[in-house]
Amino acid sequence: MKWEFTGEIKTIGTITLRRVRYPETGEVGGWVENERNLSQIGNARVSGDARVSGDAQVSGDAQVYGDARVSGNARVSGNARVSGNARVYGNAQVYGNASIERLGDYLHIDGLAFPVTVWRGHARIGCELRPIREWLAVTRHPELSESRIAEMRRLLMLVFKEFGGVE
């Protein structure tokens, strides 16, 4: 068994979470709502005060740590990392070598075509820093097709709305 429950329980609202432990190392991990939240296959880990609940799943060699939260039907897999105060929820998928870190009003996403950093109404995508509203107005880019720009704008709108203050 890669992990087991410690017997420690905490209830937040209507959700009862159980702390995990990794017997091989003796490390006490984070919190999960049920056994389906954290795979026994691979080296997936939930550590620190991180929480995984609902039908969310952490698998492969993925790690969720710090005060991160994964919930709903979200999936974190592969070598992905979710940390800090990051929230992954709904039907979101974080996979491959992607990483999401949120500290205060700062959000960093890696593993996309370009790294994205969002804070205080601005965003750096790759090496370009612009106000968020300018990014949402981009319709042409020398390295991206129109369909890729449209896809990125949809993603950015979600990220900016959640973390960058776009109304």
Q: Which of 79, 98, 117 marks a domain boundary?
A: 98
Helix, strand counts (H, E) of the chain? 2, 17
17/35 Cα distance (integer angstroms): 11
108 close to 84: Cβ distance less than 8 angstroms: no
Higher pLDDT, 53 or 108: 53
> What is the model's pTM?
0.77
**Cα–chain-centroid distance for residue 135?**
22
Q: Which of 70, 98, 126 marks a domain boundary?
A: 98
Say whether pLDDT at 111 is over 80. Answer: no
Q: Are residues 16 and 93 in the same domain?
A: yes
Q: Which two tokens stand for residue 33?
A: 């709502």
- Cβ atoms within 10 A of the Cβ of 60, count? 19
97 close to 78: Cβ distance less than 8 angstroms: yes
Q: Are residues 59 and 113 in the same domain?
A: no
For residue 149, report the phi and psi dihedrals to the nearest 5 degrees.
-60, -45
Q: Domain limits at 51?
A: 1-98
Q: Looking at residue 167, what is its pLDDT? A: 46
> How many residues does this entry show for the chain?
167
| Of the ranges 61-65, 126-130, 146-150, 155-159, the best mean pLDDT one | 61-65
Total domains present in the chain: 2
